[in-house]
C-alpha cells in the first residue's frame, strides 16, 4: 500500500512499447469528471480506459475482463470504494490482487490510509505526476511479485506463465536442479512446483526450499488425487496443492490467496516476536527500577544500557509509546 507524492510539476509520459497498453477501469458516478480524468490519463500514458458509472456496473465489467489497474473515486454512487474493494479482494469476481488507485483530497489521505491494503494506493486528486508515477510502476512491473513455475513439460510451463504474467513476474524452471538454482538466486515469493520432474523429485525440491526458508510458500501440482497424497504434501510443508490438469483461469487467484495467507502468517509471527521483545525490554526496565530503589546503581545501569541496546531493534506501537509517555507524565 502506498500514498503517493503531492507534487504539481509537469508529467512525463509513461514509456511503453508501441504495442503495449495499460487496461484501466475508471469508476466515477460523475460522467463529466470521469471524462476529464480519462483525457488526463490519455496524456500521461497509453491506456485503454473502461469507464463505469457505479459500483454495480463496475463489478459486472470486472467479472468479465482482466484489468491492469482500477482507478476510482471514494464515492461510487451506489456504494463506497472500500466496500467495493472488499468484494474485489474476496476473489469471487475476478483477480483479487488487482491494483486499485483511489482518488482523494489532501485532507482525506490520513483518514483513509488505514483502510488501504497492500494492493491499494491513495492518489491525490488533481496531481497528475502522482498518478503517472503509479502507472509507470504498474507498467514496469516493479511491484509485481516474483513467481517460479517448475514444470518440465514445455507447453504446460508456457501456459502457466501466460496465465500469470499479467499479474506476476514469472520465471520457469524445467527440472528440479534448475528450480533450486533459480530460487536461490532470486528468492521468489511463490513457487508453483510440479511433483513429477525428470531429475530431482518435486518432493525433494520442496524439502530443499523449506530447509533454507521454512516460510517459503509452495503450491504443489500433482496428478494424484488421493487424499493421502494431499495430506502428506501439507504435512511436508506445502502451502497449497492443486491437481492436474491446471485450471489456468483460476491459477492467478490461487496464487493471490496463497500469498495473502502467507502474509497474514508472517505478520502474525512478526507481531508475536515484537510483543516478546517488548515484554523482555519492559522486564529489564522494571529490574533496573527495582535496583535503583535499593540504591544498587551499578546493576541498574547495566540493565538500562542493555535495554537501550535492545530498543534499537524494537519498534513499539503507537499505543505502547503513548502508554509509556503517559506513565512518565503522571509521575
Cross-strand pairs, 173: 150
Query: How far is C-alpha 225 from the chain's CA centre?
Result: 31
Cα 198 to Cα 175: distance, rounded to the nearest angstrom: 6
Nearest to 304 by CA among 287, 326, 325, 322: 287
Q: What is the pLDDT of residue 320?
A: 63
Q: What is the pLDDT of residue 1?
A: 47
Residue with cell 506463465: 161
Q: What is the pLDDT of residue 6?
A: 35
Residue with cell 519498534: 315
Nearest to 97 by CA among 79, 75, 70, 72: 70
Show me where the domains of the chain are located: 2-140, 145-249, 270-329
- In the structure grid, which three cell numbers stand for residue 88, read together? 474485489
Residues ≥6 apart with Cβ < 8 Å to 317: none
CATH fit for domain 2-140, picks 3.30.428.10, 3.40.50.2300, 3.30.1330.30, 3.40.50.720: 3.40.50.2300
Helix (H, G, I), strand (E, B) or coil at 49: strand
Cα 219 to Cα 206: distance, rounded to the nearest angstrom: 10
Residues ≥6 apart with Cβ < 8 Å to 211: none
Alpha carbon separation from 4 to 15, 85, 108, 186, 279 (Å, rounded): 19, 19, 13, 28, 35
Residues ≥6 apart with Cβ < 8 Å to 293: none
Classify residue 120 by burial, with Cβ atoms within 10 Å: 0-12, 13-18, 19+: buried
Cα 130 to Cα 122: distance, rounded to the nearest angstrom: 10
Cα 67 to Cα 176: distance, rounded to the nearest angstrom: 34
Q: What is the pLDDT of residue 9?
A: 38
With beta carbons less than 8 A apart as the criterion, state whether 151 and 172 touch.
yes
Alpha carbon separation from 215 to 123, 290, 324 (Å, rounded): 33, 40, 34
Cα 257 to Cα 84: distance, rounded to the nearest angstrom: 18
Q: Which contacts qualify for 319-322: CB closer than 8 Å, 24 or more apart?
A: 320/278
Nearest to 303 by CA among 331, 280, 320: 280
Q: H or E element: which one contains 102?
A: strand 100-104
CATH fit for domain 145-249, picks 3.60.40.10, 3.30.420.40, 3.40.50.2300, 3.40.980.10: 3.40.50.2300
Query: Whole-model pTM?
Result: 0.59
Would you give the DSSP letter of residue 18? T
Q: In 10 A of CB 79, how many CB atoms?
A: 15
From first to last of its 331 residues, the chain has per-residue pLDDT tens of 444 433 333 333 333 333 478 899 999 999 999 999 998 888 887 889 999 999 999 999 998 888 989 999 999 999 999 999 999 988 888 888 899 999 999 889 888 988 888 889 999 988 888 888 888 888 777 778 899 999 999 999 999 999 998 788 999 999 999 999 999 999 999 999 999 998 888 999 999 999 999 989 999 998 877 777 778 888 888 988 888 888 888 898 888 888 878 776 655 556 556 666 667 777 777 888 887 888 888 888 887 777 777 666 666 566 666 666 666 555 4
2-140 and 145-249: identical CATH topology: yes
Cα 186 to Cα 64: distance, rounded to the nearest angstrom: 34
Classify residue 330 by burial, with Cβ atoms within 10 Å: 0-12, 13-18, 19+: exposed
The full length of the chain comes to 331
Q: In 10 A of CB 210, how many CB atoms?
A: 15
Amino acid at each position: 500500500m502506498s500514498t503517493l507524492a503531492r507534487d504539481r510539476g509537469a508529467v512525463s509520459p509513461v514509456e511503453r512499447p508501441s504495442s503495449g497498453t495499460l487496461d484501466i477501469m475508471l469508476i466515477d458516478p460523475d460522467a463529466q469528471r470521469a471524462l476529464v480524468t480519462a483525457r488526463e490519463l490519455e496524456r500521461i500514458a497509453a491506456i485503454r480506459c473502461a469507464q463505469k458509472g457505479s459500483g454495480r456496473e463496475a463489478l459486472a465489467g470486472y467479472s468479465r475482463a482482466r484489468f491492469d489497474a482500477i482507478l476510482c473515486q471514494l464515492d461510487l454512487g451506489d456504494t463506497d470504494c472500500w466496500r467495493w474493494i472488499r468484494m474485489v479482494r474476496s476473489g469471487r469476481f475476478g483477480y483479487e490482487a488487482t491494483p486499485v488507485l483511489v482518488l482523494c483530497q489532501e485532507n482525506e489521505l490520513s483518514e483513509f490510509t488505514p483502510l488501504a491494503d497492500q494492493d491499494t494506493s491513495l492518489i491525490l486528486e488533481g496531481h497528475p505526476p502522482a498518478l503517472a508515477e503509479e502507472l509507470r510502476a504498474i507498467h514496469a512491473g516493479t511491484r509485481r511479485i516474483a513467481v517460479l513455475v517448475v514444470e518440465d513439460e514445455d507447453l504446460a510451463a508456457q501456459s502457466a506463465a501466460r496465465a500469470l504474467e499479467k499479474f506476476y513476474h514469472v520465471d520457469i524452471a524445467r527440472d528440479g536442479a534448475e528450480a533450486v538454482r533459480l530460487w536461490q538466486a532470486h528468492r521468489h515469493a511463490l513457487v508453483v512446483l510440479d511433483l513429477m520432474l525428470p531429475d530431482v523429485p518435486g518432493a525433494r525440491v520442496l524439502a530443499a526450499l523449506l530447509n533454507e526458508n521454512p516460510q517459503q510458500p509452495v503450491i504443489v501440482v500433482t496428478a494424484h488425487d488421493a487424499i493421502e497424497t494431499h495430506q502428506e504434501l501439507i504435512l511436508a510443508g506445502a502451502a497449497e496443492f492443486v491437481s492436474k490438469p491446471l485450471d489456468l483461469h483460476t491459477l492467478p487467484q490461487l496464487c493471490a490467496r496463497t500469498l495473502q495467507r502467507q502474509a497474514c502468517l508472517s505478520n502474525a509471527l512478526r507481531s508475536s516476536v515484537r510483543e516478546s521483545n517488548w515484554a523482555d525490554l519492559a522486564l529489564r526496565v522494571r529490574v533496573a527500577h527495582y535496583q535503583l530503589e535499593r540504591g544498587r546503581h551499578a546493576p541498574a545501569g547495566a540493565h538500562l544500557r542493555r535495554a537501550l541496546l535492545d530498543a534499537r531493534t524494537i519498534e513499539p506501537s503507537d499505543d505502547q509509546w503513548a502508554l509509556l509517555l503517559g506513565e512518565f507524565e503522571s509521575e
